[in-house]
Amino acid sequence: MQVWEIQYNAANAFLYEATKPQESNIGYLNQNTGGRILYPQLYAGLSIKNLYPGVDAEFKIDAGGKLKIDYRCASSTHAWTINFSIAGFDKTYLNSTGSICMQSRYGVVTDSIPASFSGEGFTQPIPVTYLEIQPNTFGLIIESNTVDMNC
């Protein structure tokens, strides 16, 4: 089993909540109490509120079963504040498409460029790409100077 950690650097003390409840058809025994737990609530998402000033994040499982992260920014300038470190892999790097690759003895996990949004209702896409700040530490940069920085 691969265990890894994502640490948001200089983040606020944020609140999180499980989202996107799903039907459960599993059960298991609680080894501490010996009790049976049937049909526990499952969730396909996790929302983080106030990760940085003006920035929320949503972790979700897409239709293909892959983890995706969306950032919701009060304005496109808030995307610059997102900065995180990854631990638990042998090597992390950006590939030729700009995705983060995390290599371990089990293979390579790839995280494609996140969806980022701003504006009323968070419907205005922010064209961002990953930037490797130092080994195992990444941030976001805005791809184009044509973005309205006041939306």
The string of pLDDT tens digits covering residues 60-94 is: 877 776 778 888 888 878 888 899 999 999 999 99
- Whether this prediction's pTM lies above 0.85 is answered by no
Residue 70 in contact with residue 114, Cβ under 8 Å? Answer: yes
The string of pLDDT tens digits covering residues 5-32 is: 889 999 988 878 888 787 777 777 777 7
The string of pLDDT tens digits covering residues 108-119 is: 888 877 777 776
Cα–Cα distance for residue pair 98/145, rounded to 1 Å = 18
Q: Is 91 exposed, middle or buried (0-12, 13-18, 19+ CB in 10 A)?
A: exposed
Residue 89 in contact with residue 103, Cβ under 8 Å? Answer: yes
